[in-house]
Amino acid sequence: MKSVVYRITYPNGKIYIGQDITDSVGYFGSPNARLLAADFTPEMRRDCTIRKETLWESEIATKAEVIRMENEFIEKLRSNDPAIGYNLKPKLKPR
């Protein structure tokens, strides 16, 4: 089975980085629903396009390797910065 690390891009431009060890086409991660809902107006909810793109994939990676890659992308793309994305962990390191 293929494991992937993916980026979800929402209509407001914010992102969420996640990982899936089944490469399910229907899985869109689990960002904090409260934070996500707060950023969407009723109009945005009526018609929106959400993009899912694979950033990394492996047929042989261990679960630990997949988690490590996910965290690397979260930190590299700063999706744990509330101004940029919806990842809550790992915590954003002060610059």
Tell me the per-residue pLDDT of 36-84, one tens digit each, with 9 for 90 and over: 999 998 988 899 999 999 999 999 999 999 999 999 999 999 999 999 9
Quick one: which of 17, 8, 16, 14 has its CA closest to 40? 14
DSSP type of residue 69: H
pLDDT at res. 78: 96
Please answer whether residues 5 and 53 qualify as being in contact, where contact means their C-beta atoms are separated by less than 8 angstroms.
Answer: no
Whole-number pLDDT of residue 24 = 84
Q: What is the pTM of this model?
A: 0.91
User: Strand runs (DSSP E) across the chain, as ranges?
Assistant: 3-9, 15-20, 51-58
Please state, as a whole number, how many other Cβ atoms lie within 10 Å of the Cβ of residue 66. Answer: 19
Query: How many beta carbons lie within 10 A of that of residue 73, not counting itself?
Result: 20
pLDDT of residue 12: 93
23 — pLDDT class (breaks 50, 70, 90): confident
